[in-house]
Chains A and B, each alone.
Chain A
Amino acid sequence: EVQLVESGGGLVQPGGSLKLSCAASGFTFSSHWMHWVRQAPGKGLMWVSRIKSDGSSATYADSVKGRFTISRDNVKNTLYLQMNSLRAEDTAVYYCAGALYYFDFAYWGQGTLVTASS
């Protein structure tokens, strides 16, 4: 059974940093592109970032570019999101998602809540 389990969310002051983790199991993690998707309270889904299977390439939404960094450890089967210079508008549930055929979001975690507030 595929499982994605996010952790690392919490309350952080604006301007602060936080690092999210997503532990993967039940599939060959190292073969799949992975994404972070977020959802602000009461709002829709927003794509945040993608990393290719070997970690060679990462892309970001404009709103997080230069502040967030996606990475992965294919030995530990874990995806990360380093979030710096957090803003109130970054407050959201952050989901990790795995692609099955490159352009989809086949597998989803249950999400972790990040709250940027003073």
Chain B
Amino acid sequence: QTVVTQEPSFSVSPGGTVTLTCGLSSGSVSTDYFPSWYQQTPGQAPRTLIYSTNTRSSGVPDRFSGSILGNKAALTITGAQADDESDYYCVLYMGSGIWVFGGGTKLTVL
């Protein structure tokens, strides 16, 4: 069973830049996995940030960007703000109509 890996936690200073990654327990992530990214605060539904690797969802500020870095998908937040403190999830399309979410990264802004 392939596992989608994310850093459990990360911290960034206000105004700083952070890159969260999304990998595979076996193999490399490519655009063929259609990686997408979601932000979730406690008690709220997820909010779509990025889909198809690097396309920002409507209304998402350009401080958020997606890419492939090496063998992983990546979400980069530039100019981090206090309200970016959230859980971030990636999801990969594994083929054959199956998707797998990563375990999520808890981002702290301090």
Contact = CB atoms under 8 A, between A and B. Distances in A.
Interface of A: 35, 37, 44-47, 50, 57, 59, 61-62, 95, 100-101, 103-111
Contact of B47 (A35, A50, A108): A108
A44 B89 contact: yes
Contact of B34 (A103, A109, A111): A103
A89 B101 CA distance: 17
B46 A106 contact: no
A103 B89 contact: no
Nearest to B87: A44
Interface of B: 1, 34, 36, 38, 40, 45-48, 51-52, 57, 87, 89, 91, 93, 96-104
B51 A101 contact: yes
A44 B100 contact: no
A95 B100 CA distance: 15
A103 B98 contact: no
B100 A47 contact: yes
A108 B98 contact: no
Given A45-B89, A45-B91, A47-B91, A104 B51 contact: yes
A61 B57 CA distance: 26
What are the 10 A-B residue pairs with the smallest beta carbon separation, nearest first?
A: A59-B97, A104-B51, A103-B34, A47-B99, A44-B104, A108-B45, A45-B101, A103-B93, A104-B36, A44-B103
B26 to A, nearest CB: 17
Contacts of A50: 97, 99
Contacts of A35: 99
Contacts of B57: 106
A37 B103 CA distance: 14
B45 A57 contact: no
Given A50-B97, A57-B97, A104-B34, A45 B51 contact: no
Nearest to B102: A44
